[in-house]
Amino acid sequence: MTVIIDTGCANFASVQFALKRLGCNAQISADPATILSADRLILPGVGSAQAAMQKFTERGISELLPQIEQPLLGICLGMQLLGEFSQEGNTALPGLLPVQTERLHANGQPLPHMGWNRIGNFDHPLFSGINHGDYVYFVHSYAVPVGELTIAQSNYGQPFSAAIGRDNLLGVQFHPERSSAVGARILKNFLEISL
């Protein structure tokens, strides 16, 4: 069973629909027992890190996340929330991965970074069947800098982590559910990946 974690700060319907098109009937839940018994987890998020952490605390998700051992995919803000700290509101995060989120230095380009952009520099099973230079859909003003846990990159005025990962934890800064066939393939890879 795949569970979409109900963070209270995401559009679950689009993620659920994208998974359904792949034959996966994902359940949306904030129930700790349901989350911990899932085969796979998806952590979507939109909005600000500060508001998301408030919802996490209210729902007990902050305490639950360190217990997760199954594959987890964070999407957009959900990826950032796997880290330790966000410059957005100077927000402390759960710290599952040793990364920090910084405001994009877009070098004169408008923020948020919104629309289609290329991904590349990847060598991870999450990107099986994806070509370097394929396009995915982004909406964000903050990003994780390229570092040791970067498993895919993009560029918007500066290089940034389009995806991060370690062990069972994966995150994508883009929205696979809005990224057409490329995004569908990435979601399919996540559903089939063994970590």
DSSP SS3 for 127: helix
148 is catalytic: no
Rg (CA), the chain: 15
d(CA 46, CA 158) in angstroms, rounded, equals: 22
Which of 9, 76, 113, 140 is the catalytic position? 76
Which is it for the CA torsion 56, 4, 38, 79, positive or negative?
negative
d(CA 109, CA 82) in angstroms, rounded, equals: 27
Which of 69, 140, 175, 192 is the catalytic position? 175
76 is catalytic: yes
113 is catalytic: no
Give the single-character DSSP code of 120: B
Active site residues: 76, 175, 177
